[in-house]
Copies of this chain bind each other. A is one copy, B any other.
Amino acid sequence: MTKITIVGAGLMGSATAYPLADNGHDVRLVGTHLDGEIIRECKGRRYHPRLKRLLPAGVIPYYIEELEQALEGAEIIVSGVNSHGVHWIGKTLAPYLKPGQMIIAVTKGLELNEQGVLTILPDVLRSELPEAIRQQVALAAIGGPCIAGELAGKRHSLVVFGSRDAQAVERLAATFRTSYYHIWTTTHLEALEYCAALKNAYTMGVGLAAGILENAGGKDSAEAGMHNLAAGLFGAATTEIDRLLQIAGLDRSFACGLPGAGDMYVTCVGGRTIRLGTLLGKGHSYREAREIMAGETLEGAQIVTVMSQALPRLVQQGMLGADELPFMRALIAIVVHGKAVHLPLEEFFGGAGRL
């Protein structure tokens, strides 16, 4: 039995409690200052209002004010915050961390560091830790396709745990793995995190097709939709993720496996990322779409914004051609520069019509 503390009681962090409880671990679920209402319901009728399920027996809910108590003796900490909370959770955990602990994050995103270099979120979190402990804890992350509600419902989910620490990641996988939570491990943490972040940006792009269809009056009299366009954009997305992995010197096989194509596929099934793309495709400016979706975390748009700063630097360094990644550039024009949707399809796949 392992003591595990989940910090952040949102959908995905909380969902990890289900396989962990099934494995008989001692699981504590700590809400952030934004999760007060969730924890109140978890403490009261043991019901998680966002997952719409009872909490597994044995999982103990804590308010953020009870963090120190909740972390008592924890071997593993799950970071359940979203990309906006990464700095916060690093700072918040810092005083309590002990050598040998492992932190595994469900957060998907990328940031630019002070030198303008793309940085994966486990490294952002690590940068918030005091020097003394920074190399004493293992950092890991979860990638691959996983809708939280399905994991909590014990549906088969195929995911990837990544950490640069090969021993830690195996230990983590062994702790979380169940008959329905299928876990592969990798030490290619950066490739995993690039995919996890980029698929949100590109899924927003795939969503454009549904909006463009609405704008064109919907299906025509012979029931033709715009799945061909969506699928073309899907293929362009995985191709550009592949190229970005290559530029970063990372494992390209991730683009067409669970972390890339697999995760894109599940994200395209529905949810806020594809909805944002559809609003943009319909002709709403990013600013309008942002207002319509007020209160929702738009991670796809955040990644596009980060990439708008990263790409010029890559071009300047000679690592990327100025006309490469036309799909990402189209997304940047829409999200960052507030332009109308324009997809330069002829420039996709290397342009010039030749694969």
Contact = CB atoms under 8 A, between A and B. Distances in A.
A265 B254 CA distance: 17
Interface string A171-198: 0010001000011111010000000000
A132 interface: no
Contacts of A230: 265-266, 269
Given A232-B182, A235-B144, A222 B53 contact: yes
A269 B227 contact: yes
A150 B266 contact: no
A149 interface: yes
Interface in A124-166: 144-147, 149-153, 155-158, 160
A51 to B, nearest CB: 7
Q: Which has the most chain B C-beta neighbours within 10 Å: A145, A150, A156, A231?
A: A231
A229 B229 CA distance: 25
A297 interface: no
Contacts of A348: 158, 182
Contacts of A225: 147, 150, 155
A205 interface: no
A153 B224 contact: yes
Contacts of A263: 231, 235
A226 interface: yes
B349 A150 contact: no
Nearest to A232: B158
Nearest to A174: B353
A51 B160 CA distance: 43
Given A345-B182, A349-B257, A150 B232 contact: no
Ordered nearest first, which 5 A-B pairs have the shortest CB separation? A235-B262, A158-B232, A153-B224, A256-B256, A145-B231
Interface of A: 51-53, 144-147, 149-153, 155-158, 160, 173, 177, 182-186, 188, 220-232, 234-236, 238-239, 242, 253-263, 265-266, 268-269, 345-346, 348-349, 353-355
24 contacts: A51-B222, A147-B227, A149-B222, A149-B224, A150-B225, A150-B227, A150-B228, A153-B224, A156-B232, A157-B228, A158-B229, A158-B348, A160-B355, A184-B355, A186-B354, A230-B266, A231-B265, A234-B262, A235-B260, A239-B256, A254-B355, A255-B256, A258-B355, A265-B265
